[in-house]
Amino acid sequence: MDYQKIIEAVYAEVKSWENKGQIAQYIPELSNVNPRQLGVHVSTLDGYDVGMGDHHTKFSIQSIAKVLSLTLAYRLRGNELWKRVGVEPSGTPFNSLVQLEHDQGIPRNPMINAGAIVICDILVSHFRNPKKELLAFVREVAQNPDIAFNESVAQSELSVGYRNTALINLMKAFGNIDNDIELVLDLYCYMCSLEMTCQELSRAFLFLANDGIDPITQHQVLSLTRSKRVNAIMQTCGFYDEAGEFSFRVGLPGKSGVGGGIVAVHPEHFSIAVWSPRLNKKGNSYRGMKFLEQFTTQTGLSVF
């Protein structure tokens, strides 16, 4: 497979189309990003590593980080997690409150904000310094000590996180949050503020394409079963109320973030990260979705 050639062709095609959608405005610090940027990077299990455009530019990975915090919590607590968060697609927006009341404070899955907040609560219970431990874990998985939180993005979100505050309060009332609300939201917002490039992201997600084992270091990040389950959750829940559409158009397990990034993995083959800041109505990168749709169409590679 000539990934380089396909990426070049798809890149040129997507660049030639109108760049639709809006940059995330509700986190003030995110609205300052140049919306014209487009980056893509593919890392394959056999060592092929290729990217184009703004693939070396750091951006706010936002909800993509939920996969990494889930991986860490799953490694520490195993199946205990599923008593506090489900594995069903929500069919609702990432920050929706509607199901939580009905489901008695148990979020549908760990990819929506409520579920990721519960995972943060578990990490706060486990570690004395959860931010430091989470960052160390991400650096380990990415094999890169340069990854960091963006302080201004984290503070910006903390200052306006009204919906997340509502979600955590409701869950606390139902007894599904053990720690202080401020501590948990602090970890959640710092986690979302992690900055990475497309290259760093596709590298970091390679273990999910390789049955839980980092193909370069041979380090086991997750067991085979757990790695498959994280992929299953990405496939069914990674795009909120657009998860069906992403499966339909792209056909890979993946995760988006409101910074405009998307990571997708093709088990046994590759990991790919795309970034373009303008979002569609569901909060997923407009061009990112288009790029991945064209990429899996032209390569003929999807999990289906």
Tell me whether residue 53 or residue 257 sits nearer to ligand GLN (CB atom): 257
Shortest separation between residue 23's beta carbon and ligand GLN, angstroms: 13
Nearest to 201 by CA among 290, 263, 277: 263
The residue from 283, 287, 288, 294 that contacts ligand GLN (CB under 6 A) is 283
Q: Determine, following the binding rule CB under 6 A, whether residue 276 of this chain makes contact with ligand GLN.
A: no
Q: Which is nearer to ligand GLN, 33 or 258 (CB)?
A: 258
CB 205 within 8 A of CB 261: no
- Residue with smallest beta-carbon separation from ligand GLN: 63
The contacts found for 5-11 with CB under 8 angstroms, 24 or more apart, are: 6/295, 6/298, 6/299, 7/40, 7/42, 7/50, 7/51, 7/52, 7/295, 8/52, 9/298, 10/291, 10/294, 10/295, 10/298, 11/38, 11/40, 11/52, 11/53, 11/291
Which residues ranging from 223 to 262 are in contact with ligand GLN (CB under 6 A)? 257-258
Q: For residue 44, state whether it binds ligand GLN (rule: CB under 6 A).
A: no
Q: Is 5 a catalytic residue?
A: no
Among candidate residues 205, 272, 210, 262, the one with its CA nearest the CA of residue 238: 262
Closer residue to ligand GLN (CB): 59 or 74: 59
Residue number with CB closer to ligand GLN (29 or 293): 29
Active site residue 42: no
Q: Residue 125 has which token pair?
A: 């219970």
Going by the DSSP 8-state scheme, the letter that residue 30 receives in this structure is G
DSSP string covering 62-80, please? GGGHHHHHHHHHHHHHGGG
Q: Assess 69 for contact with ligand GLN (CB under 6 A).
A: no
In the complex, the smallest distance separating the C-beta of residue 199 from ligand GLN, rounded to whole angstroms, is 20
Instruction: Work out whether 63 is an interface residue with ligand GLN (CB under 6 A).
Output: yes
Q: Given the residues 63, 96, 193, 271, select the one marked as catalytic.
A: 63
CA dihedral 219, 72, 80, 95 (to 10 degrees): -140
For residue 203, which amino acid is it?
R
Q: Which CB, 93 or 215, lies closer to ligand GLN? A: 93
CB of 301 to ligand GLN, least distance (A): 26
Q: Is 164 in the site for ligand GLN (CB under 6 A)?
A: yes
- Which residues of this chain interact with ligand GLN, rule CB under 6 A? 62-63, 94-95, 113, 157, 164, 192, 257-258, 283
Task: Please identify every residue annotated as catalytic.
Answer: 63, 66, 188, 240, 258
